[in-house]
Amino acid sequence: MIQTTKLVFSNFKYVLLASVIFVFMVIGLLILSEYIFLEPYIISHLPVGTELGFVLILMLSALSGLVIPMNIFRINILKSSKQKMGGGIIGSIVGAIAGACSCGPIGFAIISTFGSVGATATAFLTNYDVPIRIIAIVILTVTYFTTVKSLKIECALNTR
């Protein structure tokens, strides 16, 4: 498993891609979850009791930065069979979207346009943002192991 990951990230292109994904996801999710404020100055604030949410955002960003480049590597190897590679990318996208569930004022503004359904969705996302992020981390973890297994078996990589 570690050898497969080393093989993928031995190419600088994938290391750079993973770094860019991690940085953009961490900054984006921290802004959306109101850990970073941009007005009037760039200010970071970690309220007491929200440490778990902060750590979950870091884990989601790190796992997305790990899984997405591995799936792109897999796509580059399996260009001819697009049906085999759909699950890994879908898992990455679902995990990343689920991680951004408590969207702060932006999410409230968008969801409130849907009336009572939007209010219900807002209440659900606000109350269950930690479990949804945990589920997203589980999805990304399963996607990681599935991708590693796929790279070993389907691609017949010699990782010794």
**How much is the pTM?**
0.74
Cα–Cα distance for residue pair 160/157, rounded to 1 Å: 9
Please name the amino acid found at residue 157.
Answer: L
Cα–Cα distance for residue pair 26/83, rounded to 1 Å: 30
Cα–Cα distance for residue pair 151/159, rounded to 1 Å: 10
pLDDT of amino acid 135: 86
pLDDT of amino acid 19: 95
pLDDT of amino acid 85: 52
pLDDT of amino acid 16: 96
pLDDT of amino acid 137: 87
Give the strand pairing for 36-37 and 43-44. Answer: antiparallel
Q: Where are the domains of the chain?
A: 2-153
Task: Return the exposure string of 27-57: e unless at least 16 CB atoms fall within 10 Å of the residue's CB, then b.
Answer: ebbbbbbebbeeeeeeeeeeeeeeeebeebb
pLDDT of amino acid 112: 60
Question: Which stretches of the chain score pLDDT less than 50?
Answer: 83, 101-104, 158-160
Helix (H, G, I), strand (E, B) or coil at 36: strand
pLDDT of amino acid 108: 54
